[in-house]
Structure formats: C-alpha cells, structure tokens
C-alpha cells in the first residue's frame, strides 16, 4: 500500500493545493491523514486536498510524490476513483466512505 501526493498546483482560497490518495485503501489514507494533521473535512470522496505548505512534510512522513497524471491513473486503477458523474449524483455511488 502506498500513499501518493501530486504537485500543489490547484488554486483555491488564496492557496495552491495538492491531492493525497491511497493506491489501495481509504482506511490507510484516513490513518495517514490523521497521523499527519490533515483534517477529515479535507477529504473529498476519494482524496484529500492538502495545502502546498504541507507538501514537504507529507513527503517526509512517507507519501510518494508523483505527477498529476500518475496520481489519477493510480486512483482509477485502485478502484477508489469517484467520477465527476458520481459526484454530481448521476452515477451509481461506489463509496460509503
């Protein structure tokens, strides 16, 4: 099991944000986030949004830095990906997370 983080390049709320995922297990992801001070409210169905300021600290704690394309491909391959359609409530929910 691996925790992955991409580059902080997504702007919102006057900050840049990165995405933090697990390649196999949301419980692993939640445990890693909790252990590293990332609040549960930062969880967005299949990933955590984390501020740029936390990036180096999360990598030092064991997250593997990857580019955004690798992160998305890994999330899809894991079966944990929540699609845009599912987010809008049009597709079958695959998550009770």
Q: If residue 56 lies in a helix (H) or strand (E), which one and from where to where?
A: helix 55-60
Q: If residue 44 lies in a helix (H) or strand (E), which one and from where to where?
A: none
Chain CA centroid to CA 50, Å: 8
pTM for the whole structure: 0.87
Q: If residue 60 lies in a helix (H) or strand (E), which one and from where to where?
A: helix 55-60
How far is the CA of 14 from the CAs of 19, 82, 95, in angstroms? 16, 26, 30
Q: What is the pLDDT along the chain (97 residues), one digit of tens a residue?
A: 799 999 999 999 999 999 999 999 999 999 999 999 999 999 999 999 999 999 999 999 999 999 999 999 999 999 999 988 888 876 555 544 4
Residues, the chain, total?
97
């Amino acid at each position: 099991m691996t925790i992955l983080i991409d580059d902080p390049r997504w702007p919102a709320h006057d900050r840049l944000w990165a995405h933090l995922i697990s390649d196999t297990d949301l419980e692993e992801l939640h445990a890693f986030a909790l252990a590293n001070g990332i609040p549960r409210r930062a969880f967005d169905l299949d990933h955590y949004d984390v501020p740029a300021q936390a990036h180096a600290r999360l990598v030092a704690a064991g997250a593997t830095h990857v580019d955004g394309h690798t992160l998305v491909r890994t999330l899809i391959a894991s079966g944990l990906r929540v699609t845009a359609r599912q987010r809008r409530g049009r597709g079958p929910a695959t998550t009770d997370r």
